[in-house]
Amino acid sequence: MKRSITLVGVFFLLALLGIIGYLTINRAMDKSVIKASDTLVQREFRLTVSNEWSDEKECSFIDLVWDDISDSDYQLYRSEDGISWDKVALDHEKVLKTSSDFSEVPSSGSLKRREKLLENRAQDSTINDDVPPESPSAELEYGEGDHFTVKLSSKDKGKEYQWYVLADTKKYGIQKSDIIKKEVTSELQGYIYVIDNSPNTVPVVERASSGEITNIDVRADLSEATTQVSGIVGENSSWMHVLAVDRANNVSDVEHINLKNNTKVAELKDVNRYVAFNVERTADTAKLIDIALGSSMEKKMKSLEIKIPKNTEIKEYDTLALPTSWYKFQNSDDEEYKSFTLAMNDNNDINTIKNFLESLRFTIKHPTHEKGRIQVIFHELVYTSWEAPDGKTHYYTFIPTQKTWLQAYNLAKKMKYRGLTGYLATLTSSAEHNFVYANIAKQSGWLGGGRLVKTNGQKINDEAAISEKITDYITTGVLSQQWYWVDGPEKGLVFFDKTTYKEGGKAPAGVYQGFNNPLNGGAGAEPNNSGGEYILEFAQASAGAPTKLWNDLTYNRTSYNTGYYIEFSEYGSQKETEEETDVLGSSEIPQKVSVKAFDDQNNRLVSGDFMFDQQLRIGKKEIIDPKNIDMYDFIKLTDLTDNQISPFEYTIGNTFQEGKLIYSSRKLTVHVRQVIMNKNDQIIFPKKGYGVLESRSQLGGKKDEVSLSMVSTNDNTALFDSYVIRYQVTEPLYTFVSKIPMNYELIGYVLTTEKQQHLPELSSKSPVQVDVSMNPEIWLTTYIRPSIEQPSLYHWEYETNKLGEIKMK
């Protein structure tokens, strides 16, 4: 559709823009702020409230941010019950801008009395948190003698307030914001406790002259709601009495804890057995930092397990440089995590472990923004567990050290875990077989099976130790034809009744065998007694393709055998007991923050983005400092649902965060030309046209002007000269005034906001004003014509000098 803006059209357009401006102020604010608190009454003029703490002033305060309406003054109101409202003093020294052009405005009660306009935010530090925390709860962990640790937990409670803001605007009168409710809390500071024999003692609260409580337990981690007080001696004492204190020095009701008859009791583990660390992330690589290991772990832990999310890898795991005598293997994955175990043997001092953990790097792969944590678990043994059909738990470990089978038998018997004696593993079902292969290791290794017997003809019978000389055993002949389990609860059980598969060997009815032969779907013919083999090997290494199935080997054949499998389970008189070997540390992986630049029409900008992905730590603050972009003004920072974020910062957490930097275009493109109608060859034809583009504020004051030159032609189809100008948001009204050359007069102006044919008969002699914030591209033609038929004889433009010669004396 073609549009020409005449003088009448301009007046209509300006009136329409005024209506739109009013509606914009009242309608366009629903996406401008974060909802940091409860909205009791929702209006289109938004207010947000957040509870903050000042370390400098040692008090809580409320940070309030509301929609900014230009040319406005503000008044803040607060209430405790939502019925009685009090004015809250604003800091009038915070000046947003100053204007000297205010006139008496009937709708305004304050603008006409004050030139200063306040910021659209305030801090209310006159609130008072006088509500105490909840009474603490306690969990006891008893240690040796009368020593114990108490885990204390509490939650701070606060006082509720309500706020709203009135905006006293120049054009639209009084605007009222949302009514917001917020609970003001100060957060927990610590605890006060007393131990005695009375069931109803109330601890004495000591206060300084300032009212500050001075006898808070400084051993507690005062920044946390849950803390631990260790090493308390309760000799001859029966009761503990605890108070919780918040940072406003409010004291909770007392909690009385019976130390001698408490249902919340756990056995106290060594308080110096711990592992703690944080995770630092740069791009998609993470590492462990701030590693702390308890002194009681020195030279005691035999393995450490590292669990990482499925989208994460230990960088260069296959070629990982390990400390001397360490070895590693990958455990089975669960639904969320991969598991890796590193056996440390006796090279397990704290410094060696710490240096190794610090050297690790973790690569985060797709999806790189997925939430996850890294866990480090220390064990005194390397193991995993499986629950048998009878409900008993079996524990397994693989030792990737090449030993003869006889040596491996004795080494397994020397190992203990959870009060159970180890033995070379016996796999008596397909479920157990598959579990060990999937969860322990896939390397070839000795199992507790064979067909050798002692020289007296007796089977090996789960002895605590056996001879390591092969000459003490019979490995051929009629006495050693059957395969049987030599140790564990299945000792003596025959699982294959012939020396080889080709002889027709098979498992007795109801017994499991896992040899690599067609009976198990295998491609081999094991056992085959090649070269006189009589010992059971797990995960045949000599097969043409990797297999979980069994093989037979000689007792000292190590070329195809990399270690041995040990099992722990209850049998005989053995009973499983608690094993205080596990020490767990865990930390979340920090996630990136991505903030992208958009214009206010939700179009992506080519510059202005932020990606925070360097040295990220949980809790780290990242500040957004919006970039200057040519031809754009920064407007606001929002989340992806267009809720405004203030202040301009992000706290690194365990979830990926995204935001939008909203810019508004200040680019004005002006296409201008000068067209001469009724060309007169007697009058000099201007080669260029000239004019001034004037800007004005909404209040009408002239602000700036830009001189333009343009093509001058007598062809009404001629092209335009184009200019790109950066306009100011406070000066959106532009008017073009032409410089008319001598001997010419103005016919009129035609201004359109679309490229279309201009016609002189549609022109207006009055300069046309346009709001470029609504119309960022305009086309303007100035039509002129000669004002005389021919130049006078004395005029500079007269083509021929007819004055004759001037004679000089």
By the 8 A CB rule, do 550 and 430 touch?
A: no
Q: 108-112, 244-248, 258-262, 649-653: which has the minimum mean pLDDT?
A: 108-112
3-state secondary structure labels for all residues of 264-307: CEEECCCCCCCEEEEEEEECCEEEEEEEEECHHHCCCCCEEEEE
Query: Is 14 a residue whose pLDDT tops 90?
Result: no
What is the pLDDT at residue 126?
Answer: 85
3-class secondary-structure state, position 31 = coil
What is the pLDDT at residue 19?
Answer: 37
In terms of Cβ atoms closer than 10 Å to its own Cβ (0-12, 13-18, 19+), residue 414 is exposed
Q: DSSP class of residue 345?
A: T
Nearest to 212 by CA among 247, 243, 185: 247
Q: What phi and psi, each to the nearest 5 degrees, are found at residue 470? A: -65, -20
For the whole model, what pTM was predicted?
A: 0.53
What is the pLDDT at residue 215?
Answer: 74
Provide the residue type at 493 as one letter: L
Provide the residue type at 462 as one letter: D
- Per cent of the chain over pLDDT 90 is 51
3-state secondary structure labels for all residues of 554-614: CCCCCCCCCCEEEEECCCCCCCCCCCCCCEEEEEECCCCEEEEEEECCCCECCCCCEEECC
Please write the tens of the pLDDT for every residue from 15-39. Answer: 433 433 333 333 333 333 333 456 6
Q: What phi and psi, each to the nearest 5 degrees, are found at residue 596? A: -110, 150
| Range with the largest mean pLDDT of 271-280, 399-408, 534-543 | 399-408
Please give the residue that has the higher pLDDT: either 799 or 702: 702
Residue with tokens 């929702």: 42
Using alpha carbons, list the distances in angstroms from residue 740 to 591, 675, 752: 64, 12, 21
Q: What is the mean pLDDT of residues 509-523?
A: 95
3-class secondary-structure state, position 639 = coil
3-class secondary-structure state, position 239 = strand
Q: What is the mean pLDDT of residues 485-502?
A: 98
Helix locations, 364-446, DSSP H: 405-413, 430-439
By the 8 A CB rule, do 341 and 329 touch?
A: yes
Please give the residue that has the higher pLDDT: either 443 or 290: 290
- Contacts for 358 with CB less than 8 Å, ≥ 6 apart: 287, 288, 289, 291
By the 8 A CB rule, do 252 and 243 touch?
A: yes
- Contacts for 572 with CB less than 8 Å, ≥ 6 apart: 489
Please write the tens of the pLDDT for every residue from 607-623. Answer: 999 999 999 999 999 99
Using alpha carbons, list the distances in angstroms from residue 719 to 238, 710, 713, 758: 98, 10, 9, 11
Please write the tens of the pLDDT for every residue from 538-580. Answer: 998 776 667 899 999 999 988 888 899 999 999 999 998 866 6
Confidence band for 794, pLDDT divided at 50, 70 and 90 = low
Please give the residue that has the higher pLDDT: either 69 or 314: 314
What is the pLDDT at residue 118?
Answer: 58
Q: Quote the CA–CA distance of 8 and 789 in Å, as a whole number.
A: 33
Q: 82-86, 371-375, 661-665: which has the minimum mean pLDDT?
A: 82-86
What is the pLDDT at residue 216?
Answer: 75
Q: 245-249, 256-260, 362-366, 405-409: which has the minimum mean pLDDT?
A: 256-260
Give strand ranges (E) for 618-656: 621-623, 632-638, 649-651
Confidence band for 61, pLDDT divided at 50, 70 and 90 = confident
Chain length of the chain = 809
- Contacts for 355 with CB less than 8 Å, ≥ 6 apart: 323
Residue with tokens 């903050």: 52
By the 8 A CB rule, do 71 and 171 touch?
A: yes
Instruction: Quote the radius of gyration of the chain (alpha carbons, Å).
Output: 43
Q: Quote the CA–CA distance of 64 and 47 in Å, as a whole number.
A: 7
Q: Encoding tokens for residue 377? A: 């678990």
Confidence band for 90, pLDDT divided at 50, 70 and 90 = low
Q: Quote the CA–CA distance of 497 and 507 in Å, as a whole number.
A: 6
| Range with the largest mean pLDDT of 147-151, 256-260, 730-734, 757-761 | 757-761
- Can you name the residues that pair with 338 across neighbouring β-strands? 308
Q: DSSP class of residue 199?
A: T
What is the pLDDT at residue 741?
Answer: 94
What is the pLDDT at residue 386?
Answer: 80
What is the pLDDT at residue 547?
Answer: 87
Query: Is 266 a residue whose pLDDT tops 50?
Result: no
Q: What is the mean pLDDT of residues 739-765?
A: 95
By the 8 A CB rule, do 538 and 385 touch?
A: no
Q: Encoding tokens for residue 273? A: 């057995």
CA 383 to chain centre: 34
Q: What is the mean pLDDT of residues 454-473?
A: 97
Confidence band for 235, pLDDT divided at 50, 70 and 90 = low
Q: 127-131, 258-262, 280-284, 719-723: which has the minimum mean pLDDT?
A: 258-262
What is the pLDDT at residue 101?
Answer: 35
| Range with the largest mean pLDDT of 18-32, 80-94, 680-694 | 680-694
Angle of CA points 502, 505, 508, to nearest 5°: 165
Q: 2-16, 297-311, 661-675, 709-723: which has the minimum mean pLDDT?
A: 2-16
What is the pLDDT at residue 38?
Answer: 62
Q: 212-226, 246-260, 485-499, 729-743: which has the minimum mean pLDDT?
A: 212-226
Confidence band for 270, pLDDT divided at 50, 70 and 90 = low
Strand order in the sheet with 226-233: 226-233, 147-153, 137-142, 265-267
Query: Is 10 a residue whose pLDDT tops 60?
Result: no
- Contacts for 650 with CB less than 8 Å, ≥ 6 apart: 593, 595, 612, 621, 622, 624, 657, 659
3-class secondary-structure state, position 464 = coil
Task: For residue 647, say if its preceding peptide bond is cis, omega within 30 degrees of 0.
Answer: yes
Q: Quote the CA–CA distance of 669 and 671 in Å, as a whole number.
A: 7
Q: What is the mean pLDDT of residues 742-759?
A: 96
Q: Quote the CA–CA distance of 493 and 449 in Å, as a whole number.
A: 10
In this structure, how many other beta carbons lie within 10 angstroms of the beta carbon of residue 207? Answer: 12
Please give the residue that has the higher pLDDT: either 278 or 61: 278
Query: Is 698 a residue whose pLDDT tops 80?
Result: no
- Contacts for 56 with CB less than 8 Å, ≥ 6 apart: none
By the 8 A CB rule, do 542 and 560 touch?
A: yes
Please give the residue that has the higher pLDDT: either 233 or 465: 465
Q: 351-365, 740-754, 786-800: which has the minimum mean pLDDT?
A: 786-800
Q: What is the mean pLDDT of residues 249-260?
A: 85
Give strand ranges (E) for 45-158: 47-54, 59-66, 72-79, 86-88, 95-98, 116-118, 121-124, 137-142, 147-153
What is the pLDDT at residue 561?
Answer: 85
Q: What is the mean pLDDT of residues 144-163?
A: 79
Please write the tens of the pLDDT for every residue from 178-195. Answer: 899 999 988 888 888 888
What is the pLDDT at residue 67?
Answer: 81
Please give the residue that has the higher pLDDT: either 398 or 598: 598
What is the pLDDT at residue 792?
Answer: 63
Query: Is 100 a residue whose pLDDT tops 50?
Result: no
Helix locations, 347-423, DSSP H: 350-359, 405-413
| Range with the largest mean pLDDT of 151-165, 333-347, 675-689 | 675-689
Confidence band for 627, pLDDT divided at 50, 70 and 90 = very high
Q: Are strands 769-771 and 733-739 parallel, antiparallel or unpaired?
A: antiparallel
Nearest to 132 by CA among 188, 59, 182: 188
**Mean pLDDT value across the chain:** 83
By the 8 A CB rule, do 221 and 190 touch?
A: no
Query: Is 203 a residue whose pLDDT tops 80?
Result: yes
3-class secondary-structure state, position 358 = helix
In this structure, how many other beta carbons lie within 10 angstroms of the beta carbon of residue 504? Answer: 8
3-class secondary-structure state, position 727 = coil
Q: Which domains does the chain have, with CATH numbers?
A: 11-130+160-183 (2.60.40.10), 137-157+185-267 (2.60.40), 273-380+582-589 (2.60.40), 382-578 (3.10.100.10), 592-663 (3.10.20), 667-786 (2.60.40)
Q: 71-75, 295-299, 804-808: which has the minimum mean pLDDT?
A: 804-808
What is the pLDDT at residue 72?
Answer: 75
Please give the residue that has the higher pLDDT: either 100 or 238: 238
In this structure, how many other beta carbons lie within 10 angstroms of the beta carbon of residue 463? Answer: 14
Q: Encoding tokens for residue 86? A: 């009090």
Query: Is 229 a residue whose pLDDT tops 90?
Result: no
Confidence band for 143, pLDDT divided at 50, 70 and 90 = low
Confidence band for 274, pLDDT divided at 50, 70 and 90 = confident
Residue with tokens 């509500």: 131
Query: Is 265 a residue whose pLDDT tops 70?
Result: no
What is the pLDDT at residue 359?
Answer: 97
Q: Are strands 667-676 and 688-696 parallel, antiparallel or unpaired?
A: unpaired
- Contacts for 548 with CB less than 8 Å, ≥ 6 apart: 433, 434, 437, 442, 514, 538, 539
Q: 58-72, 82-96, 460-474: which has the minimum mean pLDDT?
A: 82-96
Nearest to 186 by CA among 224, 243, 226, 129: 129
By the 8 A CB rule, do 273 and 562 touch?
A: no
Q: Tell me what percent of the chain is helix, strand and coil, each rounded to the nearest 5.
A: 10, 40, 50
Residue with tokens 């499991």: 512
Task: For residue 527, say if its preceding peptide bond is cis, omega within 30 degrees of 0.
Answer: yes
Q: Quote the CA–CA distance of 474 and 450 in Å, as a whole number.
A: 11
3-class secondary-structure state, position 520 = helix
What is the pLDDT at residue 602?
Answer: 94
